[in-house]
Amino acid sequence: MSAEPPSRAGATGKKPGRSTAAMLPGGPPWMPRALILAMLIFGAFLIGWWLLGRLRGLLIMLMLAQFLAFALEPAVNWLAAKGWRRGLATGFVMLMVIAVIGGFVFAIGSVVVSQVVSLAEKAPQYAEDLLNWANRTFDVNLSTDRIGRRLTASDGPLANYSQRLAQDALDIGTTALGVVFQFFTVLLFAFYLCADGPRVRRGICSILPPARQREVLRAWEISIDKTGGYLYSRLLLGLVSGLAHYAVLFVLDVPYAVALALWIGLVSQLVPTVGTYLAAALPVLVALVTSPTDALILLGFIIVYQQVENYLLQPRITARTLDLHPAVAFGAVIAGASVLGAVGALLAIPFTAIVQTFVGSYIRRYEVEDHALVSGDGTEPEPDSAD
């Protein structure tokens, strides 16, 4: 009796279980684990996105605090080298900055209040002159009494505006308290980040290998250097702007010329690109109280000076302190404002300079061959003569 032929599985030596499992409708055996891992990653992403939305305000305050700490650290390091305790040095520098800003705000506030009162006293005369001009020009018959009765009627615009203003008074007060709380929160974080800067850096480097430690410290050093360069360039541009506008305000005999020049110099640099236009409102208003012609002359000078600053002063000063092209700086401000609003516009330029310097240190550059497209004058290089 002959032996039965071996089965196909026995002849090939393969286990039937593996091939059968691979052909099951459920798919390969790693599929359930992959699906679970994908769901976990997606869930973690949703939770992280939710937390990012909830903590957006805190993260923005931390960014501002770190920027302020970078700005204070050179002065704090200088005082610490003189023997000061780091916490005391940080508090002293921060108090000096707060004192200067507080004195400036008080001086500008006094100017604003006095000019608003003066403008309110002269408003009836301005309105009368405007109505007389409209009556002569357009052949109409308008009077201040008729317009005043219409505006102050029970259903007039002023009554409705007063009701809305009274309803919004609580919201305005709450917003003001929130801004004050955020301001002191940023100062508190900045104090700890600057006073404990060496300890923070040591703690971060302690969990990194030596090669990574050098990169982190180098990035930190670049951040301090570029932030200081940014503030230096802003202060220098603010000084030039303040002196130029003071000269014009002095010639036009506008009141409070020194305070208004300081206002323009500070605000024009705190708000990049359009800061001069925003700062122009107050001095133009003050000049308008004195003479409308002087206000128009001042407005024209402000517009011209902004173009001179954008195309002549800022590129030269920024190139020395930040090594950042004006077009790149302008695009960075727009991108920062789109992402984080006013805070993003303020931090965009130093952040871009830091990233550009850090990334540029790892890019290898080569010598560029002569060509009309890179020579700048549009001339082709002469061909080498044959030997």
Please report the pLDDT score of residue 85 as a whole number.
92
Predicted local confidence at residue 60, as pLDDT: 85
* 186: CB partners within 8 A, 6+ apart: 61, 64, 65, 68
Question: 382 CB contacts (<8 Å, ≥6 apart)?
Answer: none
> Mean pLDDT, the chain, as a whole number?
77
The span from the CA of 222 to the CA of 230, in Å, is: 12
- Give pLDDT, residue 39: 92
Residue 22 makes CB contacts below 8 A (sequence gap 6+) with 28
Q: pLDDT, tens digit, for every residue of 178-207?
A: 878 888 888 899 999 898 888 888 988 888
Give yes or no for a contact between 152 and 162, defined as CB atoms under 8 angstroms apart: no
**Lowest-confidence range among 227-236, 243-252, 302-311, 337-346?**
337-346
CA 332 to chain centre: 9
Average pLDDT of the residues in 143-148: 64
Q: At what angle do helices 157-195 and 86-138 cross, to 10 degrees?
A: 160
- Tell me what pLDDT residue 387 has: 44
Token output for 374: 């890179």
353 or 209: which leads in pLDDT: 209
> What secondary structure does DSSP assign to 48-72, as a single string?
HHHHHHHTHHHHHHHHHHHHHHHHH
What's the average model confidence in pLDDT over 272-279? 73
- Looking at per-residue confidence, does 21 or 337 come out higher? 337
285: Cβ–Cβ under 8 A, 6 or more apart, which residues?
115, 119, 295
**CA-CA distance, 217 to 235, in Å (whole number)?**
27
Rounded Cα gap, residues 378 and 371, in angstroms: 8
Structure tokens at 109: 């506030």
Note whether 200 and 76 are within 8 A (CB). no
Q: Is residue 349 a contact partner of residue 272, using CB atoms and an 8 Å limit?
A: yes
pLDDT digits 0-9 by tens, 280-296:
888 888 888 778 888 89
- CA 195/CA 366 separation, integer angstroms: 42
Average pLDDT over residues 141-164: 60
Residues 321/233, Cβ–Cβ less than 8 Å: yes
Percentage, residues of the chain above pLDDT 70:
76
Lowest mean pLDDT among 221-230, 304-313, 366-375: 366-375
pLDDT of residue 88: 92
- Packing angle between helix 56-81 and helix 197-205, nearest 10 degrees? 110
Q: How far apart are CA 208 and CA 210, in angstroms?
A: 6
3-state SS class at 215: helix
Q: Taking 70 as the threshold, does the pLDDT of residue 13 lie above it? A: no
Sign of the dihedral through C-alpha 120, 121, 123, 126? negative
Q: What is the pLDDT of residue 79?
A: 92
Report pLDDT for 1. Answer: 47
pLDDT at 23 over 50: no
| pLDDT at residue number 92 | 93
Question: Residue 265: which of 223, 219, 234 has the closest Cα?
Answer: 234
Q: Confidence class of residue 383 from pLDDT cuts 50, 70 and 90?
A: low
Is residue 8 scored above 80 in pLDDT? no
In 3D space, the residue among 305, 311, 295 whose CA is nearest the CA of residue 275 turns out to be 305
In the numeric block, which tokens belong to residue 269?
């640099």
**Spatial contact of 79 and 194, defined as CB atoms under 8 Å apart:** no
Sequence-ordered alpha helix ranges (H) in the chain: 8-12, 16-22, 31-54, 56-81, 86-138, 144-151, 157-195, 197-205, 210-251, 257-270, 275-279, 281-290, 292-308, 314-321, 326-340, 342-360, 372-375
Q: How far is 240 from 264, CA to CA, in rounded Å?
A: 10
What are the C-alpha distances in Å from 177 to residues 98, 172, 256, 285?
18, 9, 30, 28
Its pTM stands at 0.65
| Model confidence at 17: pLDDT above 60 | no
Q: Which residue has the higher pLDDT, 61 or 325?
A: 61
Chain segment 74-129, per-residue pLDDT in tens:
889 889 999 999 999 999 999 998 888 787 777 777 776 776 677 667 767 777 77
262 and 242 Cβ atoms separated by less than 8 Å:
yes
- Higher-pLDDT residue of 179 and 264 is 264
Query: 49-66: per-residue pLDDT in tens?
Result: 998 888 888 888 888 888
Question: Average pLDDT in the 9-15 region?
Answer: 48
